[in-house]
Amino acid sequence: MQHDDRRPPGYRHVGHLHTGEDDDLGAVVLPLLRRAVEAGDRVVLACPEPLDRVLSGWWGAGDEVSVLPAPGHLDTRPAAGVAAIAALVDRELPDDGRRLHLVTAVREPGVGWAGSMQTEALLNHVLADRPVDQLCLLWPTQDGGGGDPGPAELARTTHPHLLTAAGVRHNPDYREPAAVVAELQRRTVPDPLEAGEPVLALLDLEDMRTLRRSMHRVLADSPLDEESAEDFVLAIDEIVANAAEHGLPPVDVRLWCGRDRMLCTITDRGPCFDDPLAGYGPAHGDMAVGGMGLWLARRSVDSLVAAPSEEDGSGCTVRLAVNAC
């Protein structure tokens, strides 16, 4: 098999199953990054400890290598994690046409391996046009468990290229982001909280003020802190507004409050939007123009999934969930 040295103009996502030993880094990862430095490209190491100390020890004062804190939000919401990496890339990308080589790491993610799989899949969509090589270091010793995919499946599924002892190779098991995200979202429908009675049901909703007052009243006694409750209401408000504008009435809103998790469903009778990648990047970047409700909503909750509300595929239910911890 020939070494894959092609450099596409856009994003190149490379996964590496790290053994956890420093020898693996020196023998496999270092040569790849050293070639990037020698080619004049910019290298940014954005890994958690202790990886950052090991990696930073490789470079001399003359090498264009920056060591930065790991991007924030990677252990929280996928939409927020993707936004954090995109912001880092846009901030560090050279403005002279050179490529950026970014090194990140995933180890025992707080969102679970399924959450990290969604994040890694979405990066292929959101960063597609950026001239970036991102190397993701993944720990294979951690078992996903309980149906969670685990790091080996994460590497195979979401990285078009894999780094091995023999170099960077094309990954034949890579799957397109839309298919990965759609499959992960289907696993969450219906939500287990829906088996119980909702604490709030607003049917054929017409007054947005009633929605906001009712939500704030119920959430005041929930495990959510004030900021999280405000974000949750913002997301619900945006999705209800979308349903009223683009769907068909009536619009029904239901809320469930678990011990450590809240769920809200918004249902209308119109067709369901079927693009699982919609709303993971700002539509245009101008908040005054509008059209960014779905993007705002995704950033404000832990999960947002749209699915047909009836067995025949009619109607649309959007499920918004937020964790209390």
What is the per-residue pLDDT across 28-41, written as a single tens digit (0 to 9) for each?
999 999 999 999 99
CA 210 remoteness from chain centre = 32
pTM: 0.87
Q: What is the pLDDT of residue 11?
A: 97
Asked whether the beta carbons of 110 and 75 are under 8 A apart, the reply is yes
Tokens of 156: 């195979």
Q: Which ranges of 103-190 would DSSP assign to H, the alpha helix?
A: 112-126, 151-158, 177-186
* Domains contained in the chain, CATH given: 12-185 (3.40.50), 190-323 (3.30.565.10)
Asked whether the beta carbons of 41 and 132 are under 8 A apart, the reply is no
Say whether pLDDT at 91 is over 90: yes
Q: What is the pLDDT of residue 1?
A: 30
Q: What is the pLDDT of residue 291?
A: 56
Higher-scoring residue by pLDDT: 284, 45: 45
Residue with tokens 């809103």: 253
Q: What is the pLDDT of residue 60?
A: 82
Of 125-134, 149-158, 165-174, 251-260, the poorest mean pLDDT is in 149-158
- In the chain, what percentage of residues exceed pLDDT 90? 61
Say whether pLDDT at 5 is over 60: no
Q: In what order do the strands lie in the sheet with 132-138?
A: 65-67, 42-45, 100-106, 132-138, 12-17, 161-164, 167-170
Phi then psi for residue 314, to 5 deg, are: -85, 165
Q: What is the pLDDT of residue 256?
A: 98
Tokens of 157: 């599924």
Mean pLDDT, all residues of the chain: 87
- Nearest-angstrom CA–CA distance, 235 and 27: 47
Q: What is the pLDDT of residue 163?
A: 96
Q: Confidence class of residue 110 from pLDDT cuts 50, 70 and 90?
A: low
- Contacts made by residues 145-154, CB under 8 angstroms, sequence distance 24+: 148/112, 148/113, 148/114, 149/113, 149/114, 149/117, 150/113, 151/17, 151/106, 151/113, 152/17, 153/113, 153/117, 154/15, 154/106, 154/113, 154/116, 154/117, 154/120
Higher-scoring residue by pLDDT: 1, 312: 312
